[in-house]
Amino acid sequence: MSVSLREARRIVLAAQGFGRARPDSPSVRHLRSTAARLNLFQIDSVNVLTRAHYLPALSRLGGYDRALLEGDAWGPKRQRRMFEYWAHEASLLPLDLHPLLRWRMARAERGEIGYQALRRFAVERRAEADAVLERITAEGPLAAANFENGSSRSGWWEWSHVKHALEWLFWSGQITTATRRGSFARLYDLTERVIPPAVLALPTPSVEAAQRALIERSARALGIATASDLRDYFRLKPVEADHAIADLAEDGVLVPVRVESWSQKAWMHRDATMPRRVRSAALLAPFDPLIWERARAERLFDFHYRIEIYVPQDRRTHGYYVLPFLMDEALVARVDLKADRQAGMLLAHRITLEPGAPADTLPRLQVELDRMAAWLGLDAVRIGAVVRLG
């Protein structure tokens, strides 16, 4: 089967939830449907605009109540519908993914994954991790800062070791995020005190079955994808991902497809749809699943995109926190945004129009900027430079 690049874009955009009419009043049902479609909201600590995990739902639903996401992510156990774990990166995930990631937790517990400082806690530094775990067990939810001053009764570790111990306990699934506070710091608690019992009671699939399910979910969310795209979604190893892909292809869940101008073989989920056209307008977070894999964004949209947070100011090309603007079936602009909360302004420091951006790009972008400002509780939008490439 062969598809043109334009057809591939339509399939991908439909799979990602674009091209649908936004609800007049987005509800928690709409939010949960979006989370299920995407599988996760990537977490990032940068707050120059708003934290990244809030943005994918805004892009697809419009101005929803962020308290709905906070309740699902960090509300009381009976209300909770999401949990934090390492998936693509640090992520908020629907609870039904918990059993599918237990193999990763088990590998972390055995010291088989994670960076070296963490792996040591699985063996030679296990006693230190156990001491941290004992304190959380006794005292309830604790932040890393609670261990800062003489955290250990025996006093035989440094502060940096405590942070590594907490991270290993998190990776291995023994603790999880109970809530976030203040500057978005995690409060850790025992997993069984956070995750609903019905979820923990779900059977644990084999590693092979779990990875097959993760690849299938990735394919459903991406629509059309290369093997690299599929394994990147949940950061699976190539050999394991390839085995799952082959298994899904044999069962007809994944259909091989050739995409115009792509050098790599691609796969399409059998349930993928191709609308005749996609009508959309959305500002995209740097970590939105549509664009988080930069090589894929370039393959699909001919859009070279890099986040420049860590680039010195005088060497930045487009700005500090730049959001691509999706209009219909193309990425037509990028906007360097900042929420000036003290002044009540959404600052668009610079708008860069891509070559070939349609004449109505700026008016339609203005609508989305106004929408975002209202959603953030800001009074107005202030636009700085407007630059057209090409």
How far is residue 272's CA from residue 363's CA, in Å, rounded to a whole number? 32
Specify the 3-state DSSP secondary structure of 227.
helix
Confidence band for 149, pLDDT divided at 50, 70 and 90:
low
Region 155-179: what's the mean pLDDT? 86
How far is residue 188's CA from residue 200's CA, in Å, rounded to a whole number? 17
Q: Which two tokens stand for residue 62?
A: 């419009």
- Residue 368 confidence (pLDDT) above 80: yes
- Residue 348 confidence (pLDDT) above 60: yes
What is residue 217's predicted lDDT score, i.e. its pLDDT?
Answer: 99
Helix, strand, coil: what percent of the chain each, to 5?
Answer: 40, 20, 40
| Residue 295 parent element (H or E) | helix 294-301
Specify the 3-state DSSP secondary structure of 297.
helix
pLDDT, tens only, 103-120: 999 999 999 999 898 999
What is residue 154's predicted lDDT score, i.e. its pLDDT?
Answer: 42
- 295 Cβ contact list (under 8 Å, min separation 6): 228
- List, by residue range, all CATH 1.10.10.10 domains of the chain: 99-194
Give domain 99-194's CATH number out of 3.40.50.2000, 3.40.1390.30, 1.10.10.10, 3.30.2130.10: 1.10.10.10
> What predicted TM-score, i.e. pTM, was given to this entire model?
0.95
Q: Which two tokens stand for residue 221?
A: 């969310």
| Residue 364 parent element (H or E) | helix 361-375
What is residue 152's predicted lDDT score, i.e. its pLDDT?
Answer: 44
Nearest to 94 by CA among 79, 81, 76, 75: 81
How far is residue 124's CA from residue 349's CA, in Å, rounded to a whole number? 51
Would you give the end-to-end CA distance of the chain in angstroms? 35
Confidence band for 317, pLDDT divided at 50, 70 and 90:
very high
Confidence band for 343, pLDDT divided at 50, 70 and 90:
very high
How far is residue 333's CA from residue 354's CA, in Å, rounded to a whole number? 5
How far is residue 131's CA from residue 162's CA, in Å, rounded to a whole number? 10
CB atoms within 10 A of CB 261: 9
Q: Which two tokens stand for residue 220?
A: 């459903």
Q: What Rg value do the Cα atoms of the chain yield, rounded?
A: 22
- Residue 150 confidence (pLDDT) above 60: no
